[in-house]
Amino acid sequence: MAWEKEIAKLAELVRRDNCNVVVMAGAGISTACGIPDFRSPGTGLYHNLAKLKLPYAEAVFDVDFFRENPKPFYTLASELYPGKFAPSKFHLLLKLLQDKGKLKRVYTQNIDTLERQAGVEADKVIEAHGSFAENHCIDCGKVFEMNVFKKKLEEYNAAAKNAQNDDLWTRCDECEGLIKPRIVFFGENLPKRFFDTWDDDSEELTKLGKKSNTVVIVAGTSLTVYPFAMLPEEVDKHTPRVLVNRECVGDFKANPRDSDIVLETSADDVAQKLVEELGWEEELQTLMTEHGTAENKDVRDELDAIDKKIAKEEEKTVKEEVDTTVSSLTAELGKLGVEDKESKKSLPEKKPNTSK
């Protein structure tokens, strides 16, 4: 594969003395854990939320809709809540980079907290869209620990068996407002920490210029959601950028740089090849055993295979239906005495009788 040849370039950047790695991650680093991303046709979370009969898919993350009807979000939270999924190889690569003193920061769009579960220190993780790690009241803003919402969610799911859970919402002990995980909903601002930290990090990169030993790895994101998508655009021109994604996207596609490295494959594929290049295989395997990380292919590979199989079966079925219909119509036309033009063409031409 062409992308494998580029791994050596990335490994060389990481090997440098005092190398700092800044990671910008999206849902694609978690698909191998069994967590679907949001926007993939047919398999994304928004597609699968259709069963909740929302006015529109994104309503599940709309703070005004949540205020009126918390049930869809509770349903989604039950599926995604931390503890149900093990970190992927790529998450564990972040932990290895940290252990080697090379991880500066992880900017993530993900709300699943898998970076933290992999062992990445909280001060290195910037959750641009929030996460399940904290809760807050949507009215007065009071902050609550993670277990407050978790406990109520467990009560909600237990009561669901008796269909008596429609009023089991988590409420603030001061104003009775609804409590939800500190995930950024539509209508809410991104965390101030996201902007402040990026201002500091990007300013440092600009000041260092050619002296910087930083490499920026952008992984598993479509780079379509702003302001997160602006981050790679604002990376200093002297800082190498690496894209790990199934296709070239965002600023890597619109404004490619000569120093860019583009690896069009899954995040776990890159994690595996990179640790092999760096000689960290045993350490990765140890972490995988500790965290229960399965040696599975990215679930999207399996979904792609299923989609192709379904498409092939559908094509076969349609052809059979068309052939059957044509045969039936031909038979009916024959009964009515209507000639088949194609059949007529194949008959020998009748010559006029010239005998006297």
Instruction: Tell me the residue type at 175.
Output: C
Residue 90 labeled ligand binder: no
Residue 140 labeled ligand binder: yes
Residue 39 labeled ligand binder: yes
| CA dist., res. 250 & res. 245, Å (int) | 11
Residue 19 labeled ligand binder: no
Residue 301 labeled ligand binder: no
Asked about 91 being catalytic, the answer comes back as no
H helices of the chain, in order, are: 2-15, 45-48, 63-68, 71-80, 89-99, 114-117, 146-160, 192-208, 230-234, 250-254, 267-278, 281-291, 299-335, 341-346
| CA dist., res. 266 & res. 26, Å (int) | 12
What are the Cα distances from residue 175, in Å, to 115, 178, 209, 333?
Answer: 33, 9, 50, 77
Q: How many CB atoms lie within 10 A of CB 195?
A: 14
Residue 37 labeled ligand binder: yes
Residue 109 labeled ligand binder: yes
Residue 27 labeled ligand binder: yes
Strand-strand pairing, 125-127 and 103-108: parallel
Q: How many CB atoms lie within 10 A of CB 182?
A: 21
Residue 310 labeled ligand binder: no
Residue 25 labeled ligand binder: no
Eight-state DSSP code of residue 346: H
State the catalytic residue, choosing from 47, 91, 129, 136.
129
Contact 252, 241 (CB under 8 A): yes
Residue 131 labeled ligand binder: no
Token output for 43? 């398999």
Eight-state DSSP code of residue 350: P
Contact 80, 48 (CB under 8 A): no
Strand-strand pairing, 179-183 and 130-137: antiparallel
Residue 222 labeled ligand binder: yes
Residue 247 labeled ligand binder: yes
Residue 105 labeled ligand binder: no
**Which residues have a Cβ under 8 Å from the Cβ of 281 and sit 6 or more positions away?**
275
Residue 28 labeled ligand binder: yes
Residue 157 labeled ligand binder: no
H helices of 28-121, in order, are: 45-48, 63-68, 71-80, 89-99, 114-117
Contact 183, 130 (CB under 8 A): yes
- Per the annotation, where are the binding residues? 27-31, 37-39, 109-112, 137, 140, 172, 175, 221-222, 245-247
Binding-site residue set for NAD(+): 27-31, 37-39, 109-112, 221-222, 245-247
> Residues comprising the binding site for Zn(2+)?
137, 140, 172, 175
Which residues are tagged catalytic?
129
